[in-house]
Chain A
C-alpha cells in the first residue's frame, strides 16, 4: 500500500515522486503513466496560477491501494473537492455481480465531496477497481472570486452545520460522470490545458452550486436519508446511468435493486436527485445522444445507438428535452 501525504502549501506535483518510486511509473511533463506492472492508466496534475490545483486520477487494476492524505493545518484557507467514480470491472454487464461483490464497507460507489482543508482529508483508491477521479484544491479566496455574485458564505455555513469534520459528500450524478469522461479523454492531449481546466472547474462549480441548493432545500425540510438509503439510491442511479442504451428498466426491477418499495423509491429518488426516475434516465440518454450528434453521427444512427427502435420517437423525445429537433441541431444555419 502506498501512501502519499501532502501539506496544504505543497504543490500536487510533489506526490509524483512518491508514487513513481513506489509503483515503477513513467513520468513525463506533468503526467504520470503506470507502466502496467502495478496498474494501468495515468495521473496528471495542473495548477492554475490563481490558487486552483487539480489532480486527475485515471487508473484501473492497481495491484495495491493508493492513498492520498491531505494533512490538516490551522491556516488552510482552502477547500478540497473530490469527485470520484469507482467501478468494479465487468459490473456494467451484470448488475447482480456488483451487488454480490460489494461488501458493506467496500467503497465501490462513486461520490462527490467537499471538505474544508483545515480538517484534512484522506482519500483511498482501492485496488482492482476502475478509478476515475478529480481532486481539486481551491483556495477560498479564488472560490469566492469564481462565484463572487453568489452567496459564498452559504457553502461555509452548510459545511459547518453538516458535522464536526466539515465535510459533505453525496452520490455522483450523470452530469459529473459525463464531465469526468470528457476530462479524462481530453486532458493529456489538449493544446490549451489551462483553459480546459478553467472551463471544467467552472462547470464543476456550477454543478456544485446546484447541488447546494438541493441540499439547502433538503435541510429546510428536515428530511435526511439514512446511509443505507443513499447507498441503495446510488445503486439505482448507477444502473440508470450505465444502461442508457437499453429500455427503461421499469419501476419493479429498480425497486428490487434498491430493496425499497416502488413508492418510497420514487419519492426518495426525487428528493435526492431532484428528478424522477424516468426523467433522470431520459436526460442522461439524450445527453449521450447529443454527444454523438456533436461527432457528426447521423440522426438515424444515433437513434438506434441509444436504443430507440424508431427514429421519430427519438426526435420527439429530443425535441421535448431541448426544444429543437435533432435535425435542427445538426443544421443550424
Chain B
C-alpha cells in the first residue's frame, strides 16, 4: 500500500480525489474517492481519545481490518458506517480493484467532552467500542445514503456549502449513534435477524398487538395496513423470532389472557370469550383446547375444585 498524495491539479480529472474541511462545530470531515488498494488512511495520527467515524460506499467485494492485529479481516458491505478509535488506522483489502468513496469524520476528544460528557447513552457506546475490538459498524439507510451522495457531490473548493456539509455530517453522526443505541437497548436479536429495520418492525407490531389484541375489530389486516408490510414478510419474521405464525401468536396471547380471567373466577366462559375478542364461543373453545388440550369449562371446574380443597 502506497500512501496517497493529495491530488495536485493535473490529477483532478483522475477518478481519485480528496478534500478535507474543518467544520464550524469543531469536527473535521475528509472525503475520499479512489480504488481501495490505493487507500491509506487519509488521516493524520489522532489522539487516543478521539473517535473516527468512517462511511463507505462502493461496488464489489471488500474486507476491512483495524490497525493493530493484521489477521482479522472482516467482510464489509456497501453503505456502511464504522466507528473506531482515533489511534486505530483502518485498512482495506479486496480481491479485485474496487472504486471506493469514503467520508471520514474526525471527532476530537475534547469535542466529545464538551457535548457528550454527561450523556449516559454515549458512554454505553464508548463501552461497546472498547468491548468490540475498537470497531463498531452499522448500515446506512436510504436517507443517509442520499446525504452521503450529497456530500460526495460537493465541489472540494467551494466553501459556501460548508454549512450544508456540516448539517449532513451531523445527521449522519446522529443516525449512526441512534441506530447503535437502538441496537444496544434492543432486548432480543434472536432468530438470526440482524436487520435493524426488521427488528424495529417486529417490536412495533408486538406492541401494537399487546395493545389491541382484545378488541373484536382487531385483525391481522389492520396490522398490515398500519405497518405497510406484507403478510408473508411479517409471518416470516414472526416464525424466525417466535417460532410461530402471527395469527398463532395472537391466538396464544388471547388464550393466555382468557386463562388468567378464568382463574380470577369472576366471569362466565361466554363472557370471557367475547371480551378477548372471539365472536363465537365454539371457536374459542376449540382454540383453547388446541393449546391446553382441555376445554375451558373443564379447566374452570379443575380450578374451582382446587380452590375448594
CB contacts (< 8 Å) of B178 on chain A: these are 191-192
Considering only residues 284-333 of chain A, those with a C-beta below 8 Å from chain B are: 293-294, 296-298, 301, 329-333
**Docked complex Cα distance between A196 and B160 (Å):** 23
Considering only residues 199-242 of chain A, those with a C-beta below 8 Å from chain B are: 199, 202-203, 205-206, 209
Query: Does A64 sit at the interface, judged by CB under 8 A?
Result: no
Considering only residues 88-137 of chain B, those with a C-beta below 8 Å from chain A are: 114-116, 119, 121-122
Please name the residue on chain B nearest to A295 by beta carbon.
B228
CB contacts (< 8 Å) of B164 on chain A: these are 206
Nearest chain B CB to A83 CB, angstrom units: 16
**Contact assessment for A199 and B171 in the assembled complex, using a CB-CB cutoff below 8 Å:** yes
**Contact assessment for B173 and A195 in the assembled complex, using a CB-CB cutoff below 8 Å:** yes
**Contact assessment for B116 and A195 in the assembled complex, using a CB-CB cutoff below 8 Å:** yes
Interface segment among B29-37, B38-46, B140-148, B280-288: the answer is B140-148
Chain A facing B: main interface SS: helix
CB contacts (< 8 Å) of B159 on chain A: these are 149
**Contact assessment for B78 and A333 in the assembled complex, using a CB-CB cutoff below 8 Å:** yes
Nearest chain A CB to B151 CB, angstrom units: 14
Please name the residue on chain B nearest to A330 by beta carbon.
B142
Please name the residue on chain A nearest to B122 by beta carbon.
A192
**Contact assessment for B228 and A198 in the assembled complex, using a CB-CB cutoff below 8 Å:** no
Q: Knowing A194-B116, A329-B146, A333-B79 are in contact, say whether A206-B163 is a contact too (CB < 8 A).
A: yes
CB contacts (< 8 Å) of B171 on chain A: these are 199
Nearest chain B CB to A107 CB, angstrom units: 30
Interface residues on B, range: 20 to 34
CB contacts (< 8 Å) of A246 on chain B: these are none
**Contact assessment for A199 and B24 in the assembled complex, using a CB-CB cutoff below 8 Å:** no
Count of interface residues, chain A, beta-carbon cutoff 8 Å: 33
CB contacts (< 8 Å) of B170 on chain A: these are 195, 198-199, 202
Query: Does A146 sit at the interface, judged by CB under 8 A?
Result: yes
**Contact assessment for A48 and B115 in the assembled complex, using a CB-CB cutoff below 8 Å:** yes
Considering only residues 140-172 of chain A, those with a C-beta below 8 Å from chain B are: 145-150
Please name the residue on chain A nearest to B184 by beta carbon.
A191
Query: Does A50 sit at the interface, judged by CB under 8 A?
Result: yes
Nearest chain A CB to B57 CB, angstrom units: 9
**Contact assessment for A191 and B177 in the assembled complex, using a CB-CB cutoff below 8 Å:** yes
CB contacts (< 8 Å) of B146 on chain A: these are 329, 332
**Docked complex Cα distance between A199 and B166 (Å):** 8
Query: Does B307 sit at the interface, judged by CB under 8 A?
Result: no
**Docked complex Cα distance between A49 and B111 (Å):** 11
**Contact assessment for B163 and A145 in the assembled complex, using a CB-CB cutoff below 8 Å:** no
CB contacts (< 8 Å) of A205 on chain B: these are 163
**Docked complex Cα distance between A150 and B162 (Å):** 9
CB contacts (< 8 Å) of B78 on chain A: these are 333
Contact with A along B156-199 (1 / 0, CB 8 A): 00011011101100110110011001000000000000000100
CB contacts (< 8 Å) of B181 on chain A: these are 191-192
Chain B facing A: main interface SS: helix
Nearest chain B CB to A155 CB, angstrom units: 14
Q: Knowing A199-B171, A333-B78 are in contact, say whether A294-B121 is a contact too (CB < 8 A).
A: no
Interface centre among A191, A195, A202, A206 (most CB of B within 10 A): A191
**Contact assessment for B115 and A146 in the assembled complex, using a CB-CB cutoff below 8 Å:** no
**Docked complex Cα distance between A150 and B164 (Å):** 13
Contact with A along B48-84 (1 / 0, CB 8 A): 0000000000000000000000000000001100000
**Contact assessment for A332 and B145 in the assembled complex, using a CB-CB cutoff below 8 Å:** yes
Query: Does B25 sit at the interface, judged by CB under 8 A?
Result: yes
**Docked complex Cα distance between A194 and B174 (Å):** 10
Q: Knowing A194-B116, A296-B228 are in contact, say whether A332-B79 is a contact too (CB < 8 A).
A: yes
**Contact assessment for B142 and A329 in the assembled complex, using a CB-CB cutoff below 8 Å:** yes
A50, A149, A301: the one within 8 Å of B162 (CB): A149
A148, A194, A206: the one within 8 Å of B119 (CB): A194
**Contact assessment for A192 and B24 in the assembled complex, using a CB-CB cutoff below 8 Å:** no
**Contact assessment for A192 and B228 in the assembled complex, using a CB-CB cutoff below 8 Å:** no
Which residues in B have some Cβ–Cβ distance to A below 8 Å? 24-25, 78-79, 114-116, 119, 121-122, 141-143, 145-146, 159-160, 162-164, 166-167, 170-171, 173-174, 177-178, 181, 197, 201, 228
Q: Which 8 A-B pairs have the closest CB atoms?
A: A199-B170, A191-B121, A332-B145, A206-B163, A191-B181, A194-B115, A146-B24, A203-B167
Would you mind naming 20 contact pairs between A and B with Cβ atoms under 8 Å apart?
A: A50-B114, A145-B24, A146-B24, A150-B163, A191-B178, A192-B121, A192-B177, A192-B181, A193-B119, A195-B116, A198-B25, A202-B163, A202-B166, A206-B167, A296-B201, A297-B228, A330-B142, A331-B142, A332-B146, A333-B79
